[in-house]
Amino acid sequence: MRFPVLSARLRGPWAVDLWITLAVQAAVTMPFVVPRAADLPEATWGAYGLTTLTVLPLVARRRAPVAVLLAALAGGALYTLAADGPGQPLPYAGLVTFYTVAELSSPRKRLAVAVLVGAAVFPSVARNTGEARELLFSLFVFGAAYAFGRLSHTRKAYVAAVEDRARQAELGRRIEAERAAARERARIAREMHDILSHAVSLMVVQAEAGPVAVRTAPERAEAAFDAISETGRDAMVQLRRMLGVLREDGPGQPPAPRAPQPGPAELPALLARVRAGGLEVTYATTGRVRPLPRDTGATVYRIVQEALTNVVKHARAKQVDVELAFAEEALTITVRDDGQGPGSTQGLGLIGVRERAAAHGGTARAGGGPGGRGFELVVGLPLACRTEEVRT
């Protein structure tokens, strides 16, 4: 059976300090258990107890490193002056606390403690052997403890900086993923709006004209119903294509189709469906016609589709003109009707047109046509120069 909470506590900072204290206590105990020479006084429990009191403050070394160091120095001095016990090879408690001060304390405290320790080393060496070798060794070990403390501080700061950069990078990736998801949701919403709005508008117009045509011109009624059927099938195909891309391929399922989005080559078929509803539509291209990138071509198709949908739904027009004007560095899409003139230019469809144009670095303008007659939509899309010509 595992105890996660107990295991975590045994690995925490407090547990580390406790294990360090026990290790130092074991080190200072060794001179008391090793047999001494016959001419030396016996080790007493009082001397051992005083040594233990010097070690115990190490448990709090992280919380009060300077105070623990002062306690260790005071305990060592008291042991030297008041107890006739065995000496220690190294001042373990003092070295550990000096390391902790170097690792955790501010520069001002580190400087004050370094001066204090340096000042304490000289009388301690003078009372013991007074040799230069011991003085140099003492200064070396305390200097090494200080250096290791600073190295530990630098390493932890570096690790913290790396972890912080990793967290910031992960946060940036998460934010970018959320933004990408929001952009994709907006794109899908525009696509579905364009597909459904266009198809339903044409079907409604043709369905309303059908009963009248049945009484007056049966052949036109038949054409209207055929157009309703064709428009519905085309909308279903496009919706299946879009939903198929969104669907995740599971085991045993065929991969979702990846058919390309419609482009300028599909505009004649789109215009034919609109004509079937009784609206006269003209289509022209000017300039040097050239191939478009796939995403730009899909944008051109959707913009024209949305413009025609608005004409069918709102304009009460008899004629609409669609023009693609190719220049060296830009393509201008113009859709102009002879209907009742400008209404609101803030509908969802026109907002979608502006968003599509802005996504390519282009512009969109909607308002009254020439002389205030009808309605006109003009969209400019930047293009890269190409030399090949394509059929539209």
Report the C-alpha gap between 73 and 300 in whole angstroms. Answer: 83
Whether 38 maps to a domain, the answer reads yes
Q: Is the dihedral of CA 286, 291, 293, 297 positive or negative?
A: positive
Range of the domain at 300: 280-392
Q: Is 332 helix (H, G, I), strand (E, B) or coil?
A: strand
Whether 337 maps to a domain, the answer reads yes
Whether 110 maps to a domain, the answer reads yes
| Residue ranges in 131-260 assigned as alpha helix (H) | 132-216, 218-246
Predicted confidence (pLDDT) at residue 329 exceeds the cutoff of 60: yes
- Determine the pLDDT at residue 223: 66
pLDDT more than 90, % of the chain: 19
Tell me the mean pLDDT in the region 31-60.
Answer: 80
Tell me the mean pLDDT in the region 23-48.
Answer: 80
Among 68, 101, 130, residue at a domain's last position: 130
Lowest-confidence range among 64-73, 191-200, 269-278, 298-307? 191-200
Whether 75 maps to a domain, the answer reads yes
Name the band, by pLDDT with cuts 50, 70 and 90, for residue 332: very high
**CA 237 to each of CA 125, 230, 392: distance values in angstroms, whole numbers, following the listed order:** 94, 11, 21
Among 96, 130, 164, residue at a domain's last position: 130
- Determine the pLDDT at residue 392: 44
- Determine the pLDDT at residue 53: 84
Q: What letter represents residue 104's amino acid?
A: L
Among 78, 109, 130, residue at a domain's last position: 130
Predicted confidence (pLDDT) at residue 219 exceeds the cutoff of 90: no
The dihedral region occupied by 205, where left means phi > 0, alpha psi between -120 and 50, and beta the remainder, is: alpha
Helix axes 45-55 and 92-104, enclosed angle (nearest 10): 10
Contact 210, 225 (CB under 8 A): yes
Tell me the mean pLDDT in the region 91-103.
Answer: 88
Predicted confidence (pLDDT) at residue 230 exceeds the cutoff of 80: no
Tell me the mean pLDDT in the region 159-168.
Answer: 92
Predicted confidence (pLDDT) at residue 130 exceeds the cutoff of 90: no
**302: closest CA among 328, 333, 257, 345?**
333
Six token digits for residue 291 = 């191939």
Residues in the chain: 392
Whether 203 maps to a domain, the answer reads no
DSSP string covering 263-330, please? Answer: -GGGHHHHHHHHHHTT-EEEEEEES------HHHHHHHHHHHHHHHHHIIIII--SEEEEEEEE-SSE
Tell me the mean pLDDT in the region 347-372.
Answer: 85
Predicted confidence (pLDDT) at residue 252 exceeds the cutoff of 60: no
Tell me the mean pLDDT in the region 121-128.
Answer: 81
In whole numbers, what is the pLDDT of the chain averaged over residues?
Answer: 80
Q: Is 46 helix (H, G, I), strand (E, B) or coil?
A: helix
- Determine the pLDDT at residue 212: 63
- Determine the pLDDT at residue 389: 42
Contact 190, 352 (CB under 8 A): yes
Name the band, by pLDDT with cuts 50, 70 and 90, for residue 84: low
Q: At 376, which CATH number?
A: 3.30.565.10
Give the pairing of strands 375-382 and 363-368: antiparallel
When divided into structural domains, the chain yields a total of 2
